[in-house]
Structures are given as C-alpha cells and as structure tokens.
Amino acid sequence: MLDIKLVRTNPDLVKENMRKKFQEEKLHLVDEVLELDAAFRASKARGDELRQQRNVISKEIGKLMGQGKKDEAEETKKKVQAIAGELAEMEQKEAEMSDEIRKRMLVIPNIIDASVPIGKDDSENVELQKFGEPLVPDYEIPYHTDIMEKFSGIDLDSARKTSGNGFYYLMGDIARLHSAVLSYARDFMIGKGFTYCIPPFMIRSDVVTGVMSFAEMENMMYKIEGEDLYLIGTSEHSMIGKFIDTILPEDTLPHTLTSYSPCFRKEVGAHGIEERGVYRVHQFEKQEMIVVCKPEDSMAWYEKMWNYTVELFRSMDIPVRTLECCSGDLADLKVKSVDIEAWSPRQKKYFEVGSCSNLGDAQARRLGIRIKGKDGNYFAHTLNNTVVTPPRMLIAFLENNLQADGAIKIPQPLQMYMGGQSQIQ
C-alpha cells in the first residue's frame, strides 16, 4: 500500500506506474482517492473547529452557572448538544470515508523499481543469466511421474480416491528424497545465517490482506468455514505476519528467517489440475526465506537471496537461469522480482521453481511493521524468496540426475540425508 502523501503530492507518478503495469482500468482510483481524501481532511478540519467551539462554550456555561444564571446556562448547553450531534455524525462519515480510501489504496499497485523492464505479461520477462550447462543426454528422459513409478515412489490413483486431482502419495525412496531435499535446504539456509522457524499453517484475514493482493488471495487461499482463518499458500505469509503491529529497534535488524511449511493452494485459473503430474498441485511442502530490513538495505538483500537459491540448485547438479519479471508480471505489492527456473532435459526448456521478491514497504504499511530510528519511526522493507519447493523441485532433480541405466544419482550434499546412498537403484 502506498503512502497517501505520495498520492496527494504526485498523482501523475502513481498513474504512470499503473500505465507501466498495463492497469489503465485502475486510473480512476487515484482521482477517487484524492476526492475522498480532500473531503476527509475538510471534515477533520471542521471537526477541530467544532471541538474548539465546544470548549469555549463549555467554559461559558461554567461562568453562567457560577453567576447563578441557570436558565442561560441551560440554553447554552443546547449549543453544546447540537455540536456533539454534528461531531458524532461527522465522525461516522469520516470512518466511512477512511474505509473507502483504504479499499482503493489496497488495490493501487506499488511503485515498481526503475530497473524493472516494461512488458505486458510473463512472455516479456527478461533472461538475466544462466548457471550450469543445460544438457540433453543421448538417452530418453521419461515423464517425471513415470520415473517415480519405476521406483514405486508415487501413487496418484489412491490420492484421487481420497482427495481428488491435485494430490498425491509419495512413497519409499522418492518420499525420502523429497524430505532429504527439504532437510538439506533447511541446513543450507541456517548455514547462511538465517534463523530456522516452523510457523502457524493458518492465518487470520488481517494478515492475509496485509501480505498479498486481493486477486492473489481469491485465486490461492482456502478459507476455513465458520472461522476467521485461512490455510497458508506459502509460509512467507505467516512469517511476515509474525511482525504485525511491531516496532523493531534499528540495531536488531535485519531479521532473516527460513521456514518450513506445508502449503495449500486453490490454483484458480490454472486451467485445471493435471492428473498425472505433480507440477501444479493443491498441497505441497516448501522451504522459504524472508528478510525484514531497513529500506536502504533491501536491494542488497534481494541480490543475496536469489543467489542463495541458485547456489542451492547448482550444488545438486541442476542447471538454472534467472528471469527478471517485467512490469505487467509483477503482483501489485512487488517492487522488483526475479524467477528462478530449472532446466528440464525432457522438455528441453527451463521451468519455474522459485521466485524472489522485494516488496518495499508495501506489506509493512499494511501490517504496521515499523522501525524505531534515531529521528523517529519508519516502515520496514520486506522480502521473500523460495529456497526450494518439492515436488516441483523433484521434477528438475529426477530429470537432471537420471542415469542411463535408470538409477538416480544422489549429489554429495544430499547423501547424508539419504543414509549415505550415492544413488537410488
């Protein structure tokens, strides 16, 4: 959410940012906010004037009562009552106007960084760099579920019976590999100085609206019927929510946390959930990282964070590339974002396995996350990044580590989590 002062003083900048994000349909919101804000401030000024009048009249009543002029005092009291009635009516209207302003401010997109490429959608994202050699072996790489089934590692039929499409049972060595990747990712991030955390897997609506846009919320979140609780779509939500309504001393920053959680997503608009694959599912597990820091440090952390993910994937012999998200592909709260994509030797192309985002102070404004500085309080910056997301990451792992004889190579960093195995036969 933007600072209302920015909308007041530079509405053209806010509108131009909307155009860069190809959201011309929202331009009217800026004018509506300005109109409501002007009325709100005028009402506030009138309220201050009425309160001053009430104070003066109240003193006058006291003098009249002291002089024994009871009848005059009673007549004067009617003026105070009239002012009180007008103030009550104004305060109700101010609350309504404040709600209307907030509704509009919540859907006005954050100001994107000047370095973000301009483009309509993800087809115009810009490749930044490749890491590792994207090889295609001279033997066939089967579909990922076929690889898993050869190891009796997945049961989609049973999952469809118990839960429907978009769910799965992982079994045996494949399930162990799934857990090994998460354990390795956890220890990898702890080694980078991040504090490990297991967060709540449900959050309240005020946290949901604080960490994401309404469009994302509608397409992602599962609501718990009859309660003000949502299942998390990513642990970033509850991790950032941990700091709601807090004032953080400058000398305690940055807060760097890495978290494990299951994640639950409706995947509305995903054009159906593929029955055979595990690329897009309703339930999965994830290792995430978040940073809460001073504004001047956020871009440096942004660069560090996505590089950590690249380093993790390369340590498991998986080639990756980074894509800069263009303006039209950025969610409304994001200032800048990069996708990490892994190489698929079967498809002979890269596919998304994670995303790193700098959200500036947008989430902090919504959630009230402030920093206590020498010259007063100010809003923190928040960032998030995927460390690893099985089972999507498993697809990349299996395809890139499948050997000609059908065995799966286990890279050295994972072997300690797999009982010392160097391969799965």
Three-state secondary structure readout of 118-186: CCCCHHHCEEEEEECCCCCCCCCCCCHHHHHHHCCCEEHHHHHHHCCCCCCEECHHHHHHHHHHHHHHH
DSSP 268: T
**Distance of alpha carbon 258 from alpha carbon 290, whole angstroms:** 6
Token pair for residue 93? 């209207």
Structural domains in the chain, sorted by start: 4-105 (1.10.287.40), 122-424 (3.30.930.10)
Helix, strand, or coil (residue 374):
coil
> Residue 233's closest CA among 212, 210, 278, 264?
264
**Count of alpha carbons within 13 Å of 38, Cβ hemisphere only?**
7
* Alpha carbon distance 261, 281 (integer Å): 15
Q: Looking at residue 269, what is its pLDDT?
A: 53
| Amino acid sitting at position 257 | L
Q: What backbone torsions phi and psi does residue 52 show, to the nearest 5 degrees?
A: -65, -45
Q: What is the pLDDT of residues 273-331, one digit of tens each?
A: 555 788 889 999 999 999 999 999 999 999 999 999 999 999 999 999 999 999 999 99
Q: How confident is the model at residue 55 (pLDDT cuts 50, 70, 90)?
A: confident
State mean pLDDT over 95-114.
94
Helix count and strand count (H, E) for the chain: 14, 18
- pLDDT at 270 exceeding the cut of 70: no
What pLDDT is stored for residue 212 in this prediction?
85
d(CA 233, CA 217): 9
One-letter amino acid at 43 equals S
Tens of pLDDT, residue by residue over 57-86, are 777 777 777 777 777 777 777 787 788 887
How far is residue 49 from each of residues 14, 59, 135, 152, 333, measured CA to CA in Å? 33, 16, 74, 77, 38
Average pLDDT over the chain, rounded to an integer:
92
3-state secondary structure of 78: helix
Could you say which DSSP state residue 194 is in? Answer: P
Q: What is the pLDDT of residues 356-406, one digit of tens each?
A: 999 999 999 999 999 999 999 999 999 999 999 988 899 999 999 999 999
pLDDT surpasses 60 at 271: no
**Residue 31 pLDDT greater than 60, yes or no:** yes
- Name the pTM for this structure: 0.88
